[in-house]
Amino acid sequence: MPKYAAGTEVSSDRSRSEIERTLRRYGATAFAYAWEGSNAQIAFKLADRQIRFRLPLPDPQSREFTLTPTGRERSAPAAEDAYEQAVRQRWRALALVIKAKLEAVEAGISTVEDEFMAHIALPDGRTVGDWLGPQLTAVYAQQAMPALLPGSKDA
pLDDT tens digits, 29-81: 999 999 999 999 999 999 999 999 999 999 999 999 999 999 999 999 999 99
> Which long-range contacts link 84-88 to residues 24+ away (Cβ below 8 Å)?
85/6, 85/7, 85/8, 86/58, 87/12, 87/57, 87/58, 88/5, 88/8, 88/9, 88/10, 88/11, 88/12, 88/15
Q: Are 73 and 66 in contact (CB under 8 A)?
A: yes
Give the residue-averaged pLDDT of 84-104.
98
Poorest-pLDDT segment among 11-25, 47-61, 97-111, 138-152: 138-152
What's the whole-model pTM score? 0.89
